[in-house]
Structure 1
Amino acid sequence: MKKIFFAALLLTTVLVNAQKNIYESDKFDDLTDNHEVLAIIPFLANLELKDDISKEELRTLEQKEGYAVQNALETYFSRRKKKKKFSVEFQDVKNTNAILAQNNIDYNTIDVYTTKQLSEILGVDGIISGNMDLNVLLSKGIPTEFSFMDYFSGDANYGRIGVKISDGTTGKLLWKYEKKINKKSGKNTTDLIDRMMKLAARKFPYDREKRKDRKQK
């Protein structure tokens, strides 16, 4: 009985902390009333690895991590979409990246374009983007074994990730979710995104039921 109680308490604490790291614009409903399609673009990664590698190699690894998050988010939304959870569609990331390439936009230049410009180029209503700071290669998988001493050595912390959604017409920030990455976050990029988005599911603004409830109030 005690184990069940503590497990429930831990889950509640995790969920509460997840909600604290979420921002939603008070104009979300007005700005997204006609939203139909969102595009997920590669995330901007900043790696601080202990390995002695060249700047060129580091940039290549950062790019790999950025695309890994893009793919992981698409996987998450695709799975949830089967349950009819969302009020919008998500552009296939292969199409997103192909259109960007056709317009001479790659990982190294995507951050010089505004949300409004990218939305117009991609033909979508909004952009899902983000950034992350890592001291490990999350896409390769990370150790999940945890010990109390990890807190003191710093080996439990791998960085931080931020996911945001911006309106394509105005460029305004609509929603943002930030989370620290540690040994309990997930064993790889797909696992991390799946876990963190599930924690934020109740606060995800494009949830079909959530939007329906808000309109009825």
Structure 2
Amino acid sequence: MKKLLPAIFLIAFIINAKSQTNLYENPQFDDIAKTHKSIAITPFKTQVKLRPKQMKDMTSEQLDRIEKSEGEGIQTAMYSWFLKRKKRGDMQTIEIQDPKATTALLNKKDINYTNISNYTPQELAEILGVDAVISGDFETDKPMSEGASIALGLLVGFWGSTNSAVINMSVHNAEDGVLLWNYNKKVKGGMGSSSEDLINILMRKASRRLSYTKS
């Protein structure tokens, strides 16, 4: 029965979810993307909106750790998504920086999850040595990453799939900081049981307009 739960959540999402999507694509994205050789994905700034009753059983520091874990989970899931597309030959020849390398390079400049918003995508791209940076925000009722879900479950006894989520993703050009692509999607309903499931669902249609991937 446990093995069936992820599939049930995914089916519930596809059938019952109410979604709202906004997609922006820079008219020059295709031409600019052809010059790119490497991209990096930064941790997504995350907000986990808990009910007041749940917040009574945890400190702000504990919530901060959960949100950080969730943001890093989305980053890792995006990295995995790109690697799979590259392996299948569905992407142009481009290197995707390992999140571990991204974290190490940022740490050397004293940049972390807490203060990364103080830096522009152009500044981050220069530090990371890439041609473009993928960044974003994620808002959810319940965390999707395994570490954050377990932590939340242990703290407040709260388990289960996410009921609603809003993800906002952007691709910025390193050379001039120009926004090349933005994807904002709000979903409600039963969803996948992990960050990777969520990214796979959200990117299914959006990737067709992402210049790094082949149609």
Q: TM-score, normalised by structure 1?
A: 0.77
Structure 1, 196-205 or 106-115: larger mean CA deviation: 196-205
1:81 maps to which residue?
A: 86
Matched, 1:161 2:167: yes
Structure 2: which 5+ residue stretches go unaligned?
1-13, 150-158
C-alpha distance after superposition, 1:76-120 (max 9, x if no partner): 111111012112221111111111111111111111011111111
Counterpart CA distance in 1 for 2:28 and 2:86 is 25
Name which of 62, 66, 69 aligns with 1:61: 66
Counterpart CA distance in 2 for 1:204 and 1:109 is 28
2:199 maps to which residue?
A: 193
Contact 2:172 2:178 in 1 (8 A): yes
Counterpart CA distance in 2 for 1:22 and 1:201 is 11
Contact 1:38 1:89 in 2 (8 A): yes
Contact 1:185 1:196 in 2 (8 A): no
* Pairwise CA RMSD: 2.2
C-alpha distance after superposition, 1:31-82 (max 9, x if no partner): 3341110000000001211212221111111101100000000111111110
1:107 maps to which residue?
A: 113
2:141 maps to which residue?
A: 135
1:90 maps to which residue?
A: 96
| 1:2-81 pair list within 5 angstroms | 21-50=22-51, 51-52=54-55, 53-81=58-86
Counterpart CA distance in 2 for 1:121 and 1:204 is 24
Contact 2:163 2:190 in 1 (8 A): no
- Identity between Structure 1 and Structure 2 (%): 34
Equivalent position amino acid for 1:25 in 2: N
Structure 1, 76-85 or 184-193: larger mean CA deviation: 184-193
Q: TM-score, normalised by structure 2?
A: 0.78
Structure 1: which 5+ residue stretches go unaligned?
1-10, 145-155, 211-217
Equivalent position amino acid for 1:61 in 2: I
State the secondary structure of the residue aligned to 2:145: helix
Equivalent position amino acid for 1:40 in 2: I
2:6 maps to which residue?
A: none
State the secondary structure of the residue aligned to 1:121: helix
Distance 1:119 1:192, change over 3 A: same
Name which of 90, 106, 118 aligns with 2:124: 118
Structure 1, 47-56 or 66-75: larger mean CA deviation: 47-56
Q: Larger Cα Rg: Structure 1 or Structure 2?
A: 1
Counterpart CA distance in 2 for 1:92 and 1:169 is 21
1:205 maps to which residue?
A: 211
Counterpart CA distance in 2 for 1:103 and 1:143 is 38
